[in-house]
Each structure stands twice: as C-alpha cells, then as structure tokens.
Amino acid sequence: MIAFLLVAALAASDTVGAADTTRARRDTTTTRRDSVPTRVAFGAFVDGYYAWDTGRPRAFDRLYTTQPARHNEFNVNLAFVEAVLTGDRVRGRLALQAGTSVQSNYFAEPRVGAVSGGELSRNIQEATVGVRLGRGLWLDGGIYFSYIGFEGWISRDNPTYTRSLVADFTPYYLSGAKLTWQASRTISAQLHVMNGWQNVSETNADKAVGTRIDWTPRRDVVLAWGTFIGNEQPDSLAARTRILNQFLARWTPTDWELSAVLDLGRQSRPGNGADTWSGSTVIARRALTPTVKLVGRAEYLFDRGQVLVRTDSPGGFRTTGASLGLDVQPDARVLWRTEVRGFRSRDAIWPRAGAASGNRTSAVLVSSLALTL
C-alpha cells in the first residue's frame, strides 16, 4: 500500500498548481454557466521517521500513542494521496493512506458482522461530499476529520510533531454527517451526527451527537467550545453515556503561536455514578527565523476510571508530560522536525528495558522528514 501511495504521489506531482505552492497540488477546472468555477486539486504527502524510546519495548510498539508508533525503526508514519473538490455549491475530498500511525490509530476499529472492521476503513483517510444549502450553510457527509481539538491527523499541520495526550485519546476521524454554519464574520457553528467515538463500523444501535462553536473576535484570536455525547457500549452491554466538554483558545501574534486545550469528560456507570477524566495541553511555538521554529509543550491526562486509556493499574492513567521540538523548513514542500518528549505517571505503566516490571517515567526522541506534493 505504501509503495502504491508513493508512486501515485510522484504521478500527482508532474504538474504543480501555481495557486497553492505549499501543498503543490495539480488543479483541473470545470465551469458551469452562471457559477463559480469548480476545481479538483490532486496532492500527496509522506512523513518518514526514526524514534528512540528509553523503555525499549520488546515488540518495538510504543504504548499509549499513535505517532510515532515504533521504537528503534525507520518507517513511514503517514503517507497519503488526495483529490480535493472545491466549488461554489459543492465540495469534497477523497484521500487514501498508509503508515504506522494508521495501523496504530485504527487498531480498535470495531468488527460487528461480516462486512465491518478496519481492513478497508484504515486506508480511507477521508471520503466526504458536501453541498451548500444556503448562504454560509453547508451539509457534509461521509468519513471525515474530527472537529475535536486543535491538533489534527496530519503531522505537517500541527505545532508539535507528536500528538498531545488529549489529542491521541479523542477522535481523529468520524463517520457521519455535519452541518457547518458561518453565522457571521466572527462566529461559526457545527452540528454532527455520528456513528460514535472514532469508528466507521457501528458498535450499537445508537448514534452520537457533537457540537462546536468558534468565536474569532480578531484575526489572531480563536476561542472555541466543543461537545460530544453518545453511548459507546455494544448492544450486548448496558448503555453508558459518554459526555465531553472541550474548551480551546489560540493566540497567534507575530512570530508566535500559543494554544491551550482543556478537556472535561464523564461516562456513566451501570446503575449509579460515573467515571470522569480531565486533560489539558498548552503549546507555544516561536519562529526563530523564516525557516526555523522552536516549540514547547506541557500537558496532562488524568483518567483514573480508564474510560479512554486502559492500563489495568490501580490508579489508571494519570500522566503529566512535556516536550521540546525544533522545526526546519528549507523548502515550502519539505519539513524536518526533531522532538524530545517525556512523561511521568502515578503508576508504573511504561515499559522498562530488560525488566518484567514497568516504569513510572518514559521518554522518546524522534526525528521526521516530511514531503508535501
């Protein structure tokens, strides 16, 4: 699959669209009478990496993360090819993908029935189609990127190379339908109806609902509030309603990017009571030169009830972390990122080289080279 993606990427790069030098997509344009031209742009991306984990996991798989997923190994984190349709009344995207992050993130894709599971869905990054219903109002459906958080699936578009804990343990992708309304110049709203918490195949007869409101009082400030509510248990078990409230803030003054996220979650227990979790991330990125950026992060995720993170330890997943990274972009299409990251947990949940017992601390050094076509 990776070989196919790379060959397709080279084919897509034969002609570069001048309107988008960063993504360097090749555009084809069709026009209809009395309408804005509709364009189809083709592109590709590949992100290769090497990571060293101080715990030296025996099977090379790194725990509690999707990116980078392997220790002491040169590999492809993410590679994809895409076709993006833009127009006045229609839009859509089809992207096919492969990589170790894909295998890690889609590992839990549910299998209920004979025609479900991750064999197909893991290779579909996005498959969406959208239609404009009115001024500033769009209806989109299919498999699409999640509305939750500031950090997305594609490493190139995030301030840090590795994903924050609150990003890795909330959905990266969704399967459903959404309404997006640009209510005014400063306010936009979203309404989602989805199969569930990051799953293409269904696990039960219920559907989940999500919302998000973004307020941009000025060009360099974004404040947002997102919600999720749904039952994530199979029909064979008692329903347990999961609720997420997420608060986001981003400030981008000249040469700086500052962002903060706070997650507050709750999942009911059968009978009475509930398990709760909370997590937060603060990220600061500074442009040192036009081609070099320095980025730092502080974070925590406390999930004692193991709603999101299964550790089978007495205290669950209660972890703090920090990272420091350096990004170098010698060309608009090339991005070299190096990052060191450390964690400290209440329980000994991290692998320890050559030992049967675990460790309370963990660290990783990763370097990545990415190409956008």
Q: Which tokens hold the place of 144?
A: 């699409």
Residue partners of 237: CB distance under 8 A and separation at least 6: none
Question: What are the contacts of 31-34 at 24+ separation with CB within 8 A?
Answer: none
What span, in angstroms and rounded, lies between the C-alpha atoms of 182 and 175?
Answer: 22
What span, in angstroms and rounded, lies between the C-alpha atoms of 144 and 205?
Answer: 21
| Maximal CA-CA distance, the chain | 70
245 within 8 A of 261, measured Cβ to Cβ: no
Residue 357 has what pLDDT? 82
The structure's pTM equals 0.88
Residue 116 has what pLDDT? 86
132 within 8 A of 88, measured Cβ to Cβ: yes
Does the N-terminal peptide bond of residue 68 adopt cis geometry, omega within 30 degrees of 0?
A: yes
**Phi, psi angles (nearest 5°) of residue 168:** -65, -25
Residue partners of 175: CB distance under 8 A and separation at least 6: 142, 143, 144, 194, 195, 199, 200
Residue 13 has what pLDDT? 41
Q: Which CATH superfamily is domain 2-28+38-372 in?
A: Porin (2.40.160.10)
Q: Per residue of the chain (373 residues), give pLDDT as tens.
A: 444 444 344 444 443 333 343 334 445 555 554 466 899 999 999 999 999 999 999 899 999 999 999 999 999 999 999 999 999 999 999 999 999 999 999 998 988 888 888 888 999 999 999 999 999 999 999 999 999 999 999 999 999 999 999 999 999 999 999 999 999 999 999 999 999 999 999 989 999 999 999 999 999 999 999 999 999 999 989 999 999 999 999 999 989 999 999 999 999 998 889 999 999 999 999 999 999 999 999 999 999 999 999 999 999 999 999 999 999 999 999 999 999 999 999 999 999 887 878 899 999 999 999 999 9
State how far Cα 335 lies from the chain centre. 18
Encode pLDDT of 224-267 as tens digits. Answer: 999 999 999 999 899 999 999 999 999 999 899 999 999 999 99
Domain extent listing, the chain: 2-28+38-372
